[in-house]
């Protein structure tokens, strides 16, 4: 047997095992959601974000309605103040 055969086979074996170790490490750190628990947490987080967005939209509508009421009340108050000033002047 040639003395280089075990050295070459050892080098090939080391390269293949290093490549396999790299593939396994890459798979574990890929960031993909493969587990049921992670998928459940992702869905729960998305549901929470959707609920918060719906709440924001609802609150924005309420703010618009309240701003309209404030404008109307301000106008009524202005009219009442004008009436009081006229009464005071007479």
Kindly list the domain boundaries of the chain, sorted by start residue: 1-32, 35-90
For the entire predicted model, the pTM comes to 0.49
Distance CA 82, CA 90 (A): 13
pLDDT in tens, the chain (90 residues): 677 788 888 888 888 888 888 888 777 666 665 567 878 888 999 999 999 999 999 999 999 999 999 999 999 999 999 999 998 887
Which alpha helices (DSSP H) does 1-90 contain, by range? 4-28, 36-89
Distance CA 84, CA 78 (A): 10
> Looking at the chain, how many residues does it have?
90
């Amino acid at each position: 047997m040639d003395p280089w055969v075990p050295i070459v086979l050892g080098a090939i074996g080391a390269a293949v095992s290093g490549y396999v170790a790299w593939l396994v490490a890459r798979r574990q750190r890929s960031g993909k959601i493969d587990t049921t628990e992670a998928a459940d947490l992702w869905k729960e987080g998305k549901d929470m974000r959707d609920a918060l967005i719906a709440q924001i939209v609802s609150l924005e509508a309420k703010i618009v309605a309240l701003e309209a009421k404030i404008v109307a009340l301000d106008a009524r108050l202005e009219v009442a103040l004008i009436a009081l000033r006229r009464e005071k002047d007479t």
